[in-house]
Chains A and B, each alone.
Chain A
Amino acid sequence: MGPLVPDILSNEFSFVVALVIGIAFGFVLEQAGFSTTKKLVGLFYGYDFTVLKVFFTGGIVAMIGVVILGHFGILDLDLIYVNPTFLRSALIGGGIMGAGFIIGGFCPGTSICAVATGKIDAFWFIIGSLIGILIFMEFYPSFEKTYFADNMGNLRMDKYLGMSQELFATLLTALAILAFFFTQKIQNKVRNDQSVYPKEKKIRYSIFAAIPFIIIIIVVLTPSFEQHIINKANMVENQKSAKEMTADKLAIDLANNYYQINLIDLRSPEKYKEYHLPLSINIPYDSLQNREWKNYFKQKYKTNIFYSDSIDIARKAYVIATNIGDAETYILHENISEFKKQNLDTHVAPVSATKEEQQLVEFRNETARRILDLENKLKNQMQPAKKEIKKVKGGCS
């Protein structure tokens, strides 16, 4: 599951990746015509809208791609870098950059492409941008307040507008296609271009324009990867496959081999805090699919044992966990209060009890004593060893 850096690929190796990606990026930009100011500035005078077409198409293809990869569980959208929003700074910065664009004729990326193909003006643009960055860094203390004003966090546009990401992708795609259509009209007018488009070309472009919408519809209609696993967990025949463990067996394991098992409480953190079985950790049922718990379900050293208020939740959790990884998994046949009552509370055998019954009571009392003793000794070790989630750092600043 992506992203590959820094969990799967090392940061050192990522520099090689950076070089390769850069080559592809530069190649495409140059092929698109971004190495000449004539094309870049044409956008602002209406004679050439290439930049708009390339830029918007690129942004939308990547955006829809991210939606698809996230939907099918190939890319973890919680981990990718979302540029943070500092509203005032973003507006001021954008305004200044726009001025730089119209005066200088490039932006930083395109100036590098242009200098690579021998444009002398691009060289001076780069020198200028070095100075601009230097000014910012040298006078940073006076900019600092503005720089951090109106912090809105890693806000996403779809969240801001209160809509699903699929709907936002649809709207932005529609907007882009409308923009392509009308800017083409403007361009033809400015250039005095009277040429009529052949029908074939019109059909071809319409088909291409429809593709993103079809993809979004498919995404909306198919269950996401996460939902797919939940659907599986809700099916009774899958729940039947859950391997059960009796309370007495668990008590023996806890008392003797506690280091070989993960006893997992599926209830909410509040309930867990209130009371939980000794030596258990808390993974709320709703958060089972979170990346941070993956290491519990993908390992072959320890046995996972689920328990909850009801065995149904444990059964579902069993299906989910075994779909995520192949760790040995059991569910506790009894619920939490049954286990506590039978195996942790101290009992006295009635006088009329048979010898076997007396032995059972003694055995339960003895294991209970050992478990509670262990819990006391291991108190500090039982905090769940959360997998540390490395958020991707990014940005251009």
Chain B
Amino acid sequence: MQAKPFMNPYFAGFLLGLVLLTTIYVTGRGLGASGGTKSVVTSLVKNVTPEHYSTTKYYQQGEAEHHGNPLKNWLLFEIIGVFIGAFISGVISDRVGLKLEKGPGVGNKTRIIAAIIGGLLFGLGSQFGRGCTSGSALSGMAVMSFGGIITMLAIFGSAYMLAYFFRKLWINKQN
């Protein structure tokens, strides 16, 4: 079965804006993603190496915020929701299926390594930026946060500047 076309981007953006606005109205804060991932990492560290966890400053600082259970995190519940919502959407539009997506002429191994490195950088950067594209850039824009908008410009600016050097990962070499 043929996958259904994507939604009109402006209409999708409008809906995204309404979701974000509702979130701000209900919770007083915006959306996020990397924060949810972070709570998983914190929880893993806590359970795998409890001794290290209890002697490391950063984790102990966080302890006060999540009261001993890093998984009791608003953003973690939110990203579980994101997973469910995206799955529902994918099923409705016939877009679900195991697949390794990559640029033309890129090997599987290269793609996986690039994905890991990209993820690693994004994860690291999101900590410095106090949020990722969702939590810092998008939500920051909605409340006109100076830092959020600066982070957004830095993300897209840096991606544009580096795009030329990584073009072989995504587009044909001739271009």
Contacts and interface: CB of A to CB of B under 8 A. Distances in A.
A331 interface: no
Contacts of A293: none
B127 to A, nearest CB: 4
B17 to A, nearest CB: 2
Interface residues on B, range: 35 or more
A132 B128 CA distance: 11
Given A4-B26, A45-B170, A122-B115, A101 B159 contact: yes
A220 interface: no
Interface in B20-60: 20-35, 37-38, 40-42, 44-45, 56-59
A225 interface: no
B107 interface: no
Interface in A61-91: 61-63, 65-66, 69, 74-75, 79-87, 89-91
Interface string A143-158: 1001100001011111
Contacts of B129: 89-90, 92-94, 96-97, 397
Most buried by B among A84, A85, A138: A85
Tell me the interface secondary structure of chain B in the complex: helix
Contacts of B13: 32, 53-58, 61
Nearest to A64: B17
A337 to B, nearest CB: 44
Contacts of A396: 32-35, 75, 126, 130-132, 134-136, 139
A113 B84 CA distance: 9
Contacts of B41: 130, 133-134, 137
Interface residues on A, range: 35 or more
A160 interface: yes
Interface in B132-168: 132-163, 166-167
B100 A120 contact: yes
Contacts of A109: 31, 33, 79, 82, 132-134
B125 A93 contact: yes
Nearest to A147: B128
Contact of A133 (B38, B80, B97, B167): B38
The 6 closest A-B pairs by CB, nearest first: A104-B118, A22-B81, A94-B154, A128-B119, A61-B17, A132-B123
Interface of A: 2-5, 9, 14-33, 35-39, 41, 43-45, 47, 50, 53-63, 65-66, 69, 74-75, 79-87, 89-122, 124-138, 140-141, 143, 146-147, 152, 154-160, 165, 168-169, 172, 180, 208, 392-397
